[in-house]
Chains A and B, each alone.
Chain A
Amino acid sequence: EAGVAQSPRYKIIEKRQSVAFWCNPISGHATLYWYQQILGQGPKLLIQFQNNGVVDDSQLPKDRFSAERLKGVDSTLKIQPAKLEDSAVYLCASRATLGAGTDTQYFGPGTRLTVL
């Protein structure tokens, strides 16, 4: 079974530029999460989708961050405009909602963003 895929793996941009990250969850996983992990900290949830609907975006800085999951599979996270403090690893995770192992979130390799 293929894991969670993310691209790009690395991105360097200048402040005030825009950037987008892509995530493809494990096949059949209805729930998808985006986390932000700042250096030296644990991941922090930004947004959670159930199929193509938003379940929790309470910690998403909506003035500059946006995310969508149009067909309930792939998801895109966008930052516009980027700030220096957005430098972090952006992790995508997915979770099954049916069958065994529904408690566990499985993570992708992450996208390391550097804002100069």
Chain B
Amino acid sequence: AQKITQTQPGMFVQEKEAVTLDCTYDTSDPSYGLFWYKQPSSGEMIFLIYQGSYDQQNATEGRYSLNFQKARKSANLVISASQLGDSAMYFCAMREGPGSEKLVFGKGMKLTVNP
């Protein structure tokens, strides 16, 4: 079974608009971490935001926020005020367990920001 599911293969958004990228996950471990990474065409994976399973509040980092709905096992990334430079692949990833190191990634989705 897939641990991380990203069902949107691609999305288009107008510059300055907000966009939500979907991610659902599957785990039976009560302790886990969720990550979003951005991968531009240059190839580097850029860390955006982290949410721990015990965190009471949704994580925010500048224009990025994570809509964490634990009961639904979803961890959607919200980008406010999209910029042209946000065009990239976006990957959701999960680390299971307090002692685990391994990140399991989804297949990613491509965001295109139009001027």
Contacts and interface: CB of A to CB of B under 8 A. Distances in A.
* A interface, over-half SS: strand
Interface string B72-115: 00000000000000000001010100000111011110000000
- Size bracket, chain B contacts: 20 to 34
Interface string A85-116: 00001010101000000011111111010000
Contact of B43 (A31, A95, A106, A109): A109
Interface residues of A, number: 24
A110 B105 contact: no
A112 B44 CA distance: 11
B47 interface: yes
Interface in B41-82: 42-47, 50, 52
Interface of A: 31, 33, 40-45, 48, 55-56, 89, 91, 93, 95, 103-110, 112
